[in-house]
Amino acid sequence: MLIRKYFSQFLVLLCLAAAAAAQAQNLPNVVILATGGTIAGTGATTTTTTVGYTAAKVGVDALIAAVPELKKVANVRGEQTMQIASENMNNDAWLKLAKRVNTLLAQSDVDGIVITHGTDTIEETAYFLDLVVKSKKPVVIVGAMRPSTAISADGPINLYNAVLLAGSKEAIGKGVLVTLNDQINAGREVTKTNTSTLDTFKTPELGFLGYIQGSKPFFYRQSTRKNTADTPFDIMNLDKLPQVDIVYGYANMNPIALNAFVAAGAQGIIHAGVGDGSLNNTVVPSLTEARKKGVVIVRASRVGQGIVARNGEADDDKLDFVVSDTLNAQKARILLMLALTKTTDTKEIQKMFWEY
Ligand code: DAS
Task: Give the Cα separation of 143 and 252 in Å (integer).
Answer: 37
Q: Which of 81, 116, 119, 346 is catalytic?
A: 119
The predicted pLDDT at position 134 comes to 98
Q: What does the alpha-carbon distance between residue 112 and residue 140 come to, in Å, rounded to a whole number?
A: 8
The residue whose CA has the least distance to atom 3 of ligand 1 is 118
Same domain, 251 and 158: no
Q: Do the domain assignments include residue 104?
A: yes
Q: Is residue 60 located within the same domain as residue 94?
A: yes
Asked if residue 86 has its Cβ within 6 Å of ligand 1, the reply is yes
145 alpha-carbon distance from chain centroid: 16
Parts of the chain with a pLDDT under 50: none
Residues 343 and 308 in one domain: yes
CB atoms within 10 A of CB 77: 13
Q: Name the domain count of the chain.
A: 2
Q: What pLDDT is recorded for position 55?
A: 85
**pLDDT of 115:** 98
Q: What is the pTM for the complete model shown?
A: 0.94
pLDDT at 23: 67
Q: Which residues contact 279 (CB under 8 A, 6 or more apart)?
A: 249, 271, 273, 287, 299, 313, 314
pLDDT of res. 22: 64
Counting ligand 1 atoms within 8 A of each CB, the residue from 35, 42, 82, 86 with the most, and so the one to mutate, is 86
CA angle at residue 236 from 235 to 238, to 5 degrees? 60
Beta-bridged to residue 112, according to DSSP, are 30
| 75 and 162 together in one domain | yes
Considering the domain boundaries, does residue 135 fall inside one? yes
Among the options 38, 49, 149, 231, which is catalytic?
38
* Domain housing 290: 244-355
233 exposure class (CB count in 10 Å sphere: 0-12, 13-18, 19+): buried
Whether the Cβ atoms of residue 327 and residue 352 lie closer than 8 Å to each other: no
- The verdict on 224 and 262 lying in the same domain is no
3-state DSSP assignment of residue 105: helix
pLDDT in tens, 203-217: 999 999 999 999 999
- The pick from 38, 57, 58, 84 for probing ligand 1's pocket by mutation, whose C-beta has the most ligand atoms within 8 angstroms, reads 38
Q: Is position 86 annotated in a ligand binding site?
A: yes
